[in-house]
Amino acid sequence: MGGREEVTPQVTPQVEERIEKVIDFCKTPRTRQEIQEFVNIKDREYFSVQILNPLIEKNIIFLN
């Protein structure tokens, strides 16, 4: 088996900071585009996978 370690996903401090900003920003309903622009992420897929989808899946923010 060769001493291979499992890779576990970790949230980087930068992603954690962005998530906190998004949660605060979304106290007022926002569109995906508004949120994405607010955290200054140009890549829509990265934004969705790393920021938006986890917050939706954990019921922290909601879609209308």
Whole-number pLDDT of residue 13: 87
pLDDT surpasses 50 at 2: no
> Which two structure tokens, joined as six digits, stand for 11?
């949230």
Q: Please say whether the beta carbons of 35 and 52 come within 8 A.
A: yes
Mean pLDDT throughout 17-30?
92
pLDDT surpasses 90 at 29: yes
Distance between CA atoms of residues 42 and 50, nearest Å: 13
Query: What band does 9 get if pLDDT is binned at 50, 70 and 90?
Result: low
Q: What is the DSSP string of 1-41?
A: -TTPPPP-----HHHHHHHHHHHHHTTS---HHHHHHHTT-
pLDDT surpasses 50 at 8: no
Domain residue extents for the chain = 13-57
Mean of all residue pLDDT scores within the chain: 84
